[in-house]
Amino acid sequence: MPTNSPHDDDSDDAALHTETPRRRFLQRTGTGVAAALIAGGVGTARVAHAAQATPGDADAVKLPPIADTETEQQEETPDPRARTDERVGFAVVGIGRLTMNQILPALASSKYAKLAALVSGDADKAHKVARQYGLSEDAVYGYDSFERLAGNRDVQVVYIVLPNSMHREYTERAAKIGKHVLCEKPMATSVADCQRMIDACRNANRLLMIAYRSQYEPMDRLVAKWIKEKQLGPVTEFIAGNSQNTGDPGQWRLKRALAGGGPLPDVGIYCINAARFLFDEEPTEIIGTVTQPAADPRFREVEQSVHFILRFPSGATATCASSYGNHESRFFRVQGAKAWAEMNPAFAYNGLRLRKGMLVEEKNAATEITVDPVDQFAREIDHMALCVVRNRTPHTPGEEGLQDQRIIEAIYESARTGRVVKLSPPPGPTRGPMPDEEKF
């Protein structure tokens, strides 16, 4: 039995202000490109509200905003509304802020999936959350009793929402007990761990999907459609930034052993994945540089900022920046010979805006494109559920996460050596079939 007790994503322990095995684990484990970016407008940050309890529930769990985070994206927590039916059952591993504010509400409103179990190192909190979502007491598991999920027939999928370095271990454990896996991004902290995750699920004949929610978001998919249909003309350039001012120096995302890096694997990965998804090709040359100010205690172990350029076989380039030291800014622009497309904000859970610029009657014109907002988490969860029912490869399988990790490691290598890093193409496809839009 593994001895590590992981710390839930976004620190549920900090929310409860209690000393738990996961906090002690966290304390032990934690113990050159001149690229001009277009000016990225500030994304609209929403003020965090405490998690809302079911009316009349005196034991309801409330999550306050993360302390000392000045411009990180915050979000509201909808009231949980659990339904009981024959949807595909998910066990969520880790009940931190992302789980509480996004994943559990998405499961409650999902068409094809439902919450069937919780796994956490904090039994008191887990049981309170279970009651809020209508789960029985025996649907709550600890990390040391994870393998008991094997006997829970209501659970078909394990959704891993843990620090990055824990993803490989819990994917292997889930596959070993016969469960499919949906894993948060980044997939892992090394190419080797990504491959082990793929192998574990393949050998167990289980599906593995990485939670790249933006690829299931309608605006992103619309831009990809424009590029594929040549509506922008030949596309030459992708420019993107994804930054936030990350506060608390003690959080796990600033510990290399847990996160695998700083902003690059956390928020910079959105720029990497968007460029690959939109261009529908893989970069072959990579240049990167990092900034790590010695005087800032937040960045003793990881970089503050990273800038990188990806060059693709078509000649197109992606010029990107990501930081934990800047005010929140999330955007991308695709430049084509006939038109451009821009999302600003991009990458966020909500509040996205899409514009398209082109010549109209010999004059430059920009049009804002309106698309009905969707719950990105519910869409990706529904896609995974349908893949389980149909025994179909997910659109964003393990190979997609592995390729991003290869690029992340190449960016760090370039920053370390000051050289261009050449990257060979992946040995096969990195994506499965596109989701069936009509099913949503």
Q: Which of 125, 128, 185, 255 is catalytic?
A: 185
Which structure tokens are listed for 193?
């761990």
Which structure tokens are listed for 435?
């989701």
The residue whose two tokens read 């999936």 is 113
What gap in Å lies between CA 116 and CA 133, rounded to an integer? Answer: 10
Taking CA atoms, 117 is separated from 6, 114, 135, 140, 307, in Å, by 17, 9, 7, 6, 40
Which structure tokens are listed for 66?
């993360």
Q: Which has the closest alpha carbon to 377: 166, 111, 118?
A: 111
DSSP string for residues in 234-278: SEEEEEEEEEEE---TTSGGG-HHHHSSSHIIIIIHHHHHHHHHH
What gap in Å lies between CA 63 and CA 16, rounded to an integer? Answer: 8
Residues in a beta bridge with 308: 288, 320
Q: Which of 159, 212, 216, 270 is catalytic?
A: 270
The residue whose two tokens read 């800032």 is 296
Taking CA atoms, 420 is separated from 286, 303, 307, 398, in Å, by 6, 19, 13, 26
Residue 339 φ then ψ, to 5°: -165, 170
Residue 42 per-residue DSSP state: B
Q: Which has the closest alpha carbon to 396: 383, 411, 378, 410?
A: 383
What gap in Å lies between CA 246 and CA 218, rounded to an integer? Answer: 28
Which structure tokens are listed for 186?
């980044």
Q: E strand or H helix at 140, and its extent? A: strand 140-141
Q: For 3-40, what is the HEC assignment? A: CCCCCCCCCHHHHHCCCCHHHHHHHHHCCCCCCCCCCC
Decide if 338 is catalytic.
Answer: no
What gap in Å lies between CA 80 and CA 104, rounded to an integer? Answer: 7
Decide if 185 is catalytic.
Answer: yes
The residue whose two tokens read 């190192």 is 121
Residues serving a catalytic function are 185, 270
